[in-house]
């Protein structure tokens, strides 16, 4: 039982960290989008589009991780 409790605490910590990463990525995406929309020279730079795509990919990964962690937490909490 102690191991399950420890695992649950770790999962909650991982979930919190994942939520923080999602927040950072969302802010970065918003800021980069704003910069691209304001500056014609940045808009025409293909690197910026790739950066935005990369952020979007990372967001999708982290959101999937968040869902997975939430499901694991739910399973452990229902067993307790």
User: Over the stretch 40-78, which tens digit does the pLDDT of each residue have?
Assistant: 887 788 898 899 999 999 999 999 999 999 999 999 998
Encoded tokens for 7: 């695992």
Q: What is the pTM of this model?
A: 0.86
- In the prediction, which pLDDT does 36 show? 87
For all residues of the chain together, what is the average pLDDT? Answer: 92
Domain range enclosing 13 = 2-79
Helices and strands (H, E) in the chain, number of each type:
3, 0
Q: What is the DSSP string of 46-59?
A: HHHHHHHHHHHHHH
Q: CA separation (Å) from 73 to 10, 13, 61?
A: 10, 11, 18
**Residue range 22-27: mean pLDDT, rounded:** 98
Encoded tokens for 67: 């869902």
* Residue 2: pLDDT band with limits 50, 70, 90: low
State the total domains in the chain: 1
């Amino acid at each position: 039982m102690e191991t399950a409790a420890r695992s649950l605490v770790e999962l909650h910590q991982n979930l919190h960290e994942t939520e923080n990463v999602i927040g950072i990525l969302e802010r970065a995406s918003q800021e980069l989008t704003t910069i691209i929309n304001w500056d014609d020279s940045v808009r025409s730079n293909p690197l910026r589009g790739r950066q935005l795509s990369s952020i979007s990919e990372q967001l999708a990964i982290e959101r999937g991780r968040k869902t997975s962690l939430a499901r694991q937490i739910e399973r452990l909490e229902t067993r307790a």
